[in-house]
């Protein structure tokens, strides 16, 4: 897939209000919004209630057929996988890169700089001050 631009807001920082959001609607305190070529998708934390905005676009949208298997909940999904069932929907192949992205958001906040990430080499290029958060120095006698 081609690169994407990710803007991370945390610790009380808020993104600009999407111009597509109606004046009488709140953005909410936590959540996500995606800006695409054809519109904006707004949702609460944990991908709660995704909605195209403005609401007129949501009402006009025709949902595709469900093709992704549904789970009985995050914890049940994990327990079933541990007991020999199908792999968890949030297995390490998926959750590892997701966690990497989330932690890079924190590195960007701590450095106060844009992070250009070289994933295969686990290195923030153009931001040497990020190194201390990515691979911290260990006290003498302790190492990995």
Please list, residue by residue across 81-117, b when 16 or more beta carbons sit within 10 angstroms of its beta carbon and e when fewer do: eeeeeeebeeeeeeeeeeeeeeebeebbbebeeebeb
Q: DSSP H helical segments within the chain, as ranges?
A: 55-60, 74-82, 92-111, 131-134
Say what the pTM is: 0.63
pLDDT digits (tens, 9 = 90+) for 7-30: 878 777 888 889 999 999 887 767
Could you read off the pLDDT of 78-133 as tens digits, one per residue? 999 999 998 888 888 888 988 998 899 889 989 999 999 998 998 999 999 999 99
Domain range annotation of the chain: 1-63, 74-134
What distance lies between CA 19 and its chain's CA centroid? 22
Task: Please tell me the distance from the alpha carbon of residue 11 to that of residue 77, in angstroms, as a whole number.
Answer: 30
């Amino acid at each position: 897939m081609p690169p994407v631009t990710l803007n991370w807001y945390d610790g009380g920082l808020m993104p600009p209000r999407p111009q597509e959001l109606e004046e009488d609607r709140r953005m909410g305190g936590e959540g996500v919004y995606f800006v695409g070529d054809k519109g904006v998708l707004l949702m609460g934390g944990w991908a709660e209630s995704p909605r195209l905005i403005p609401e007129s676009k949501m009402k006009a949208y025709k949902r595709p057929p469900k093709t992704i298997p549904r789970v009985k909940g995050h914890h049940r999904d994990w327990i079933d996988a541990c007991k020999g069932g199908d792999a968890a929907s949030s297995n390490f192949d998926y959750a590892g890169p997701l966690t990497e992205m989330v932690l890079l958001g924190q590195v960007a906040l701590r450095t106060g700089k844009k992070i250009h990430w070289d994933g295969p080499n686990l290195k923030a290029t153009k931001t040497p001050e990020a190194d201390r958060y990515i691979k911290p120095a260990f006290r003498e006698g302790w190492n990995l």
